[in-house]
A and B are shown apart, each in its own frame.
Chain A
Amino acid sequence: MAAATGCAAGAVPAGYTALAVKFAERQHSHHCLLVKEHQVREGADTAHPPRRTLFVLNVPPYCGPDSLSRLFSRCGHVQSVDICDKPGPGEKKDKLASKFFDHKTLKGFQVAYVVFRKPAAVQAAKALSQEGPLLISTESHPVKTGISKWIASYEASIVDPKELKAEVDAYMEDYDKKVAEEKAKAATEEGVPDEEGWVKVTRKGRKPGLPRTEAANLRVLEKEKQKRARKELLNFYAWQHRETKREHIAQLRKKFEEDKQRIALMRAQRKFRPY
């Protein structure tokens, strides 16, 4: 285990401890998990309470929450494992999270927060660096990779229509209720002045206002412009004639100048050799 000690005892950034980890007994080389006690600068990170949480860096792609939890369970009882893309405060678990619609696929190397029940376990986890590499997949708890994993995920991708339908129906019911509530609220506010006496003009009612969108604003501007253009007289005064002629020559000159420039560029690239 010379390599293992090399990883563990070698260079480690301040505050971190390196844990060697490999997939199974078969492999020769290992990755280094960098772990440290999770610290929060300000505010309370409720999902990852300080002192009890171990911050793990460089978690290999085949190492899921279950494996991590198993790896660290020998240091103490693991309360939860949270794997995410990059370090950040733990999000509140959304109660609406659905099996079908909010897929979060983990990609590549991750960071993880392992929350223990007791702070002592964090120190115990750090001490693991003295031992040989940890194994992610063991005979008792094999981790599926490759073909077997893909077949499993293919199987998982088959949706049960009834379940899906039930979920959609439930969501839509909620949504409809919400929309109805908003509508009712808007209806009650319709035409009622607020405390300063302002009345909100909506698109409904007898005198609908303009919609407040960018497109509508642009449309109005365009219309104004057209109106102005219609009023203008072209080719009426002699100076207008002169102007257009001058403008025409200027256009030609500009084009000529552009062409000359392009030629110069082409010449620089030696584009005129027909052989």
Chain B
Amino acid sequence: MAGSPEAAEEAEQGPEQGSEPPAGSAVRRGKRAAPAAAAPQPAKLSRAELYRPPTSEELTQLKETEDLFHSSLLRLQIEELLKEVTLKEKKKKKIDSFLHEINNLLSAIPETPETELTDQAWLSEDVKVPFLQVPFSVKGRFRFVPPAELKVVGSYLLGTCVRPEINVDIAVTMPREIFQDKDNLNQRYHRKRALYLSHIAQHLSKEKLFGSVKFAYMNSNHLKPILLLRPQGKDEKIVTVRLHACPDSDLFKPSRFYPSKNNVRTAWFMEQSTPKEGTTEPPTPHYNNSILCDTVMLSHLHFLSNAATDFPGMKDGLALLKVWLNQRQLSKGLGCFSGFLVSMLVAYLLMKRKIVKMMSGYQVLRSTLQFLATTDLSVTGISLAKDADPSLPVLDDFHQAFEVVFVDPSGLVNLCADMTASKYHQVQFEAKRSMEILDDRMVDGFQALLMTPKPMLRTFDHIFHLKHVSKLQGTCKKMQLLNELMDWGGNYVAAALPFVVSLLARGLSQRAQLVAHSLPQIPEWPIDAEPPKHKDVGPLTFGLLFVPEFAASTLEKGPQADHPEALEFRTFWGEKSELRRFQDGSICEAVVWEASTACQKRLIPEQIIRHLLKLHADIPESSICYTGALLESVIRTGKEAGGTGEEAMVSVVCSYDDLSRKLWNLKELPLTVTAVQGVHPALRYTDVFPPIPMKPIYSFHNRSKHFLLPSEEKPCPAYITPLKIICHMEGSGQWPQDKGAIKRIKAAFHLQLAELLRQQHQLVCRPAVTHTDVYKDGYVFRLQVAYHREPLILKEVVTPEGMLKYQDTEESRQLELETLHLPYLTSSLHGLQQQHPVFGSTSRLAKRWISAQLLSDSISEECVDLLVAFLFLHSAPFTPPSSPQVGFLRFLNLLATFDWKNNPLIVNLNTGLTDSDCTEIKNKFVAARSRLPVMFLATPKDQWSSMWTRERPSAQILQRLVLLASESLRALEEQLMDPLSDQDVKMVFRPPLDFYDVLIHLNPNQIPRLLESVDRPVKSVCRGVVKNSSAMNILFPVVDYDPVQLYLQELRNAFDDLALFFYDKHGGEVIAVLWKPLSFQPQPFKVSSMRGRKVTTLNNELVCIPNVEAILEDFEILGEGLVKSVEARTEKWTI
């Protein structure tokens, strides 16, 4: 809790008084700054302004912002947010006059004669009763009498309603005379209420005043219909007036509605003529609560307005809390944590003195979150009732009847009656996470807490849908939930949901830290339509948040066989449970799930869910749509459905470790090897398709001495990636200090390494000038020798005064990148993978997507790796992803929403940056923005230069990436959230091609990586390799030979200034070409700019234009044998 009351007082007074003069200047400054928003300038104050003597108010204010908020930024941001969400005065006036007119209209509605409840003929045809009247027959009589009282209740009066949805609640008190005795029984009250509203609706629908008159269920509880009124015309969006019909507060005797009482008779509900003898009627707590709610509406209003008097911080705090709940999708639907509930909670904290009236909005938010984070209302309920009336039910009675308990001031109503324990735990979890974020100075708490939406898809590691909720009827039957069904008025979704969720929570108790469900929501409907049925809530969505350590374990160990709990375990798991003997000698009940690869292991929760729901809830597998791993098919390796390459990666790393040991221990090398460092993405687990051990078939290739060569007659051999390894040699005086000589010595080392590896370890090698290729275990490693002083020698410049200076050159920078920075990055990310096992797969999905969009050559792989690392290291407000799919969705979101222009992306690898480092980076970034790359990544070892994005991507490519990411994200989320459509998630991996000018179609036989394409080819071609790692090999396979890449390089060399070339390096069959519009403008003749152009006359002037026809033919000539056809798509280049 923040500080003493004194501090809080200052907090309150600070902004109003102290900040007057600076605030004024800020506005002016702000106005000036706004047009110049394109180029942010660092703030500058004159010396006089900085050092003028402070007033005492200013002092307190400065001090307070320093202590309370991490920076004044947060405070200013909150002020801005509040301005944005609160209702404007002007609109308030409009709303007030609208309410006034409603008031007049309502009192003028005519009476109706009394009829039986079931006789609804008096109601006109265009209004349907907004109530599911099942069973239909019920006793009781109804007539309409104009309301006894109309009163605005709820957030509008308290001034705590927040945009965008402004609701004004009006309690319409139904006069006493329309009620009879026993109206509390068998939904009679509810039906009268519904009829009352339908009569009002019938009359109001004729009025011109309203833009729309509709029904809805209050918080989607079908027992409680309400009438929605919206003003006419352009004001329709401003406000929704919700009419709640309610009885006089003392109409019913409260004792009838204690949680243990029954008010729905079994015989009536089951439509039996006579009640069964001797059975006791079950309690109907939810039913009772729904009536009680209506009786206490006015008193709640009084209670809240008492709390809110002299407490300006409450209004702000509630607005913030509501925004917080909205962003987490917790505030709508059946059993939601509504705005009203949170207001009552703040009032409770005020009563308990955990909040005092001097607190500011931010402090209210913090205290409330703190309370939520530490209190479990599903175990220890709270009550607002002041003096304990001994006749009233106690908290324990409520706990018996409800999952979550928060009793109102009257001591009768449970405000959290509809909420499931799981939902409350989710709120609690979010509050905990939010408190962590607020306490972490490195995170922008404002952005994470209040501005970032958390839809289920991006929040939870796995998501699954219950396609047809009608299947829950079967669940009710199977679980014998007749009493609950009666209590819920036949709403089988609400009745079964808590049981289903707790079933899943029990089954996944080790694996999941949170099992959450979406809140059933029923949209509003026009008054002439039948009210929506229970099944109209649409598919239910469940979200799982995993404990990464246990989520994928294959074993569920139960109690020892002879223990009494064993029986319970067996009934819970059914046939899957079996006796097993463990290593420690114990014999236990256990469930073992079948999964061999990492990808299958990640889906063990799916197996569990399907099994449990089938066994206990009678939900067939076909109604479950599990979307946990739909995307992973695009990174599957090989033809078989097995793994997604994690295992392949591990075996590569093993082979690499072995090789590096061998290198360290090589004898007879003139200098020793000091370090062996991998730089290939496979060695940090982020290679999209990790290499697979291969053995070439000799007959498929041509030969030259000890080496195999590709053959012209055969299809292109399979692509074998060289896995690059940097081999640092000991520094020594024997190294020459001249760049030419160093190059030669390195070549000599490559030769010698090859020779020694062959002699001492029988490895087949292929030495070259810049590297040595080693064929080992079916992989090819590319060794490159490095000397640590070489970059320095390349940098050496001697100034005219004879001073030795070091200056970056292109060559030295490249060498440093390769031998210094890339190995470091690789080892850091390797470490990250050890902490977060799905980091690699997420990064691979991300890269696969980028390459599928033909942009893999436009952005460096390291840059994508770092972006993905950011998601894991700075996951706020989420938790670090535990499944590749959610990681990928967040990657798309990051790409689409991050403000690259105004912010650096700081990736705090190995937590190497402190708070002040980050601030410094941000400030320097702002000052030097125009000179920095469009996408700026800062890491602890690379704070100022953003080396991985220096050349790529360009501004245009980044813009395109952002656009593609947001489109892909939208399409993907739509598909993943709609289980009823046929989900073709590969859609976002098929690039739109209509945007390009020329398409070069390639001959599939000559594409070595064809098998990696998103839509696998049906026919496969022999690529001259067999999978094998053991066999000794004498002939060296074809390495790093990809005709398409060679072709692309030639194209780019030749036509770089005329066109951009895009290609999906993972088996794409088309190269897309985009002409550069600038180079298609006629240019005057210049010797240096004649490349590929022809000269013509335009307006009697000699100009150069691209020789398009010849260039198109050049495309074919350069790719002889590879190009199938060149398709010119548009006539854009006609000049």
Q: Judging by beta carbons under 8 Å apart, are A172 and B767 in contact? A: no
Question: Which residues in window 1097-1127 of B have CB below 8 A to A?
Answer: 1097, 1102, 1107, 1109-1110, 1112-1114, 1117-1123
> Does any Cβ of B come within 8 Å of A180's Cβ?
no
Chain B residue nearest to A86 (CB atoms) is B1088
> Does any Cβ of A come within 8 Å of B511's Cβ?
no
Q: Judging by beta carbons under 8 Å apart, are A171 and B54 in contact? A: no
**Given A154-B709, A263-B76, CB of A159 within 8 Å of CB of B767:** yes
> Does any Cβ of B come within 8 Å of A90's Cβ?
no
In the complex, identify which listed stretch (A21-29, A39-47, A68-76, A117-125) lies at the interface while the others stay far away.
A21-29
State A255–B705 Cα separation when bound (angstroms): 71
Chain B residues, Cβ within 8 Å of A258:
42-43, 923
Q: Judging by beta carbons under 8 Å apart, are A157 and B1113 in contact? A: no
Chain B residue nearest to A264 (CB atoms) is B30
Closest Cβ of chain A to B786, distance in Å, is 17
**Given A27-B1113, A32-B1107, A147-B1122, CB of A260 within 8 Å of CB of B26:** yes
Q: Judging by beta carbons under 8 Å apart, are A273 and B754 in contact? A: no
> Does any Cβ of B come within 8 Å of A201's Cβ?
no
Residue from A60, A212, A272 in contact with B84 in the complex, judged by beta carbons closer than 8 Å: A272
- Residues 43-69 of chain B: 1 if any A CB is under 8 Å from the residue's CB, otherwise 0? 101000111001000010010011000
Q: Judging by beta carbons under 8 Å apart, are A274 and B85 in contact? A: yes
Q: Judging by beta carbons under 8 Å apart, are B710 and A151 in contact? A: yes
Q: Judging by beta carbons under 8 Å apart, are A148 and B712 in contact? A: yes
Question: Which residues in window 653-706 of B have CB below 8 A to A?
Answer: 704-705
Chain B residues, Cβ within 8 Å of A58:
1090-1093
Instruction: Tally A residues with Cβ within 8 Å of B.
Output: 81
State A34–B49 Cα separation when bound (angstroms): 68
> Does any Cβ of A come within 8 Å of B296's Cβ?
no
Q: Judging by beta carbons under 8 Å apart, are B766 and A158 in contact? A: yes
Chain A residues, Cβ within 8 Å of B50:
250, 253-254
Q: Judging by beta carbons under 8 Å apart, are B29 and A260 in contact? A: yes
Question: Which residues in window 898-930 of B have CB below 8 A to A?
Answer: 899, 902, 923
Chain B residues, Cβ within 8 Å of A256:
22, 62, 65, 72
- Residues 36-64 of chain A: 1 if any B CB is under 8 Å from the residue's CB, otherwise 0? 00000000000000000000011011100
Residue from B51, B451, B767, B1041 in contact with A161 in the complex, judged by beta carbons closer than 8 Å: B767
Q: Judging by beta carbons under 8 Å apart, are B80 and A272 in contact? A: yes
Question: Which residues in window 309-343 of B have CB below 8 A to A?
Answer: 323, 326-327
Question: Which residues in window 726-756 of B have CB below 8 A to A?
Answer: 736, 738, 740-741, 743-745, 747-748, 751, 754-755
**Given A151-B712, A250-B51, CB of A27 within 8 Å of CB of B33:** no
Q: Judging by beta carbons under 8 Å apart, are A263 and B804 in contact? A: no
Chain B residues, Cβ within 8 Å of A27:
1110, 1113, 1117
Q: Judging by beta carbons under 8 Å apart, are B738 and A269 in contact? A: no
> Does any Cβ of B come within 8 Å of A244's Cβ?
no
**Given A23-B1117, A213-B804, A274-B450, CB of A13 within 8 Å of CB of B769:** no
State A145–B769 Cα separation when bound (angstroms): 25
Closest Cβ of chain B to A83, distance in Å, is 13
> Does any Cβ of A come within 8 Å of B803's Cβ?
yes
**Given A13-B1102, A29-B1107, A256-B72, CB of A61 within 8 Å of CB of B1120:** no
Residue from A32, A111, A172, A257 in contact with B1095 in the complex, judged by beta carbons closer than 8 Å: A32
Question: Which residues in window 442-458 of B have CB below 8 A to A?
Answer: 450-451
State A95–B84 Cα separation when bound (angstroms): 75
Chain B residue nearest to A250 (CB atoms) is B50
Chain A residues, Cβ within 8 Å of B73:
259, 262-263
> Does any Cβ of A come within 8 Å of B1096's Cβ?
yes
Q: Judging by beta carbons under 8 Å apart, are B1118 and A147 in contact? A: no
State A179–B1046 Cα separation when bound (angstroms): 41
Chain A residues, Cβ within 8 Å of B354:
none
Chain B residues, Cβ within 8 Å of A13:
1085, 1095, 1102
Chain A residue nearest to B25 (CB atoms) is A260
Question: Which residues in window 1009-1054 of B have CB below 8 A to A?
Answer: 1038, 1041, 1043, 1046-1047, 1050, 1053-1054
Chain B residue nearest to A103 (CB atoms) is B769
Chain B residue nearest to A13 (CB atoms) is B1085
Closest Cβ of chain B to A179, distance in Å, is 7
Q: Judging by beta carbons under 8 Å apart, are A268 and B744 in contact? A: no
Chain A residues, Cβ within 8 Å of B1054:
60-61, 107-109
State A274–B54 Cα separation when bound (angstroms): 36
Q: Judging by beta carbons under 8 Å apart, are B1122 and A146 in contact? A: yes
- Residues 234-275 of chain A: 1 if any B CB is under 8 Å from the residue's CB, otherwise 0? 000000000000100110111111111111111111011111
Residue of B49, B72, B1119 ringed by the most chain A CB atoms within 10 A? B72
> Does any Cβ of A come within 8 Å of B641's Cβ?
no
- Residues 1072-1096 of chain B: 1 if any A CB is under 8 Å from the residue's CB, otherwise 0? 0000000000000101101111111
Chain A residues, Cβ within 8 Å of B1117:
23, 27, 62, 145-146
Closest Cβ of chain A to B83, distance in Å, is 7
Chain B residues, Cβ within 8 Å of A252:
62, 66
> Does any Cβ of B come within 8 Å of A12's Cβ?
yes
Chain A residues, Cβ within 8 Å of B585:
none
> Does any Cβ of A come within 8 Å of B123's Cβ?
no
Chain B residues, Cβ within 8 Å of A34:
1090, 1095
Q: Judging by beta carbons under 8 Å apart, are B33 and A265 in contact? A: yes
- Residues 178-221 of chain A: 1 if any B CB is under 8 Å from the residue's CB, otherwise 0? 01000000000000000000000000000000011111010000
State A161–B802 Cα separation when bound (angstroms): 41
Q: Judging by beta carbons under 8 Å apart, are A155 and B741 in contact? A: no
Chain A residue nearest to B81 (CB atoms) is A272
Chain A residues, Cβ within 8 Å of B397:
none
Chain A residue nearest to B738 (CB atoms) is A175
State A259–B1054 Cα separation when bound (angstroms): 50
Chain B residues, Cβ within 8 Å of A149:
1120
State A102–B902 Cα separation when bound (angstroms): 44
> Does any Cβ of B come within 8 Å of A126's Cβ?
no
Q: Judging by beta carbons under 8 Å apart, are B748 and A150 in contact? A: no
Chain A residues, Cβ within 8 Å of B738:
175
> Does any Cβ of B come within 8 Å of A115's Cβ?
no
Chain A residues, Cβ within 8 Å of B1119:
145-146
State A249–B707 Cα separation when bound (angstroms): 74
> Does any Cβ of A come within 8 Å of B471's Cβ?
no
Closest Cβ of chain B to A5, distance in Å, is 14
Q: Judging by beta carbons under 8 Å apart, are A257 and B805 in contact? A: no
Q: Judging by beta carbons under 8 Å apart, are B744 and A109 in contact? A: no
Q: Judging by beta carbons under 8 Å apart, are B1107 and A100 in contact? A: no
Q: Judging by beta carbons under 8 Å apart, are A172 and B451 in contact? A: no
Chain A residues, Cβ within 8 Å of B54:
249
> Does any Cβ of A come within 8 Å of B529's Cβ?
no
Residue from B83, B1038, B1056 in contact with A272 in the complex, judged by beta carbons closer than 8 Å: B83
Q: Judging by beta carbons under 8 Å apart, are B1085 and A109 in contact? A: no
Question: Which residues in window 760-796 of B have CB below 8 A to A?
Answer: 766-769
Q: Judging by beta carbons under 8 Å apart, are A271 and B451 in contact? A: yes
Q: Judging by beta carbons under 8 Å apart, are B45 and A146 in contact? A: no
Chain B residue nearest to A143 (CB atoms) is B1117
Closest Cβ of chain B to A211, distance in Å, is 7
**Given A23-B1113, A164-B747, CB of A212 within 8 Å of CB of B164:** no
Extra pairs beyond A148-B1121, A150-B1047 (12, CB < 8 Å) = A11-B1102, A29-B1110, A30-B1110, A108-B1054, A154-B710, A171-B741, A213-B805, A256-B65, A256-B72, A261-B29, A261-B41, A272-B84
14 A-B contacts (beta carbon < 8 Å): A27-B1110, A30-B1110, A58-B1091, A61-B1053, A100-B769, A108-B1054, A108-B1091, A149-B1120, A168-B745, A211-B804, A217-B803, A265-B34, A266-B80, A274-B450
Q: Which A-B residue pairs are the 5 nearest by beta carbons?
A: A146-B1120, A264-B30, A147-B1121, A109-B1091, A108-B1054
Residues of B near any A CB (own CB < 8 A): 22, 26, 29-31, 33-34, 37, 40-43, 45, 49-51, 54, 59, 62, 65-66, 71-73, 76-77, 80-81, 83-85, 163-164, 323, 326-327, 450-451, 704-705, 707, 709-712, 716, 736, 738, 740-741, 743-745, 747-748, 751, 754-755, 766-769, 802-806, 899, 902, 923, 1006, 1038, 1041, 1043, 1046-1047, 1050, 1053-1056, 1085, 1087-1088, 1090-1097, 1102, 1107, 1109-1110, 1112-1114, 1117-1123
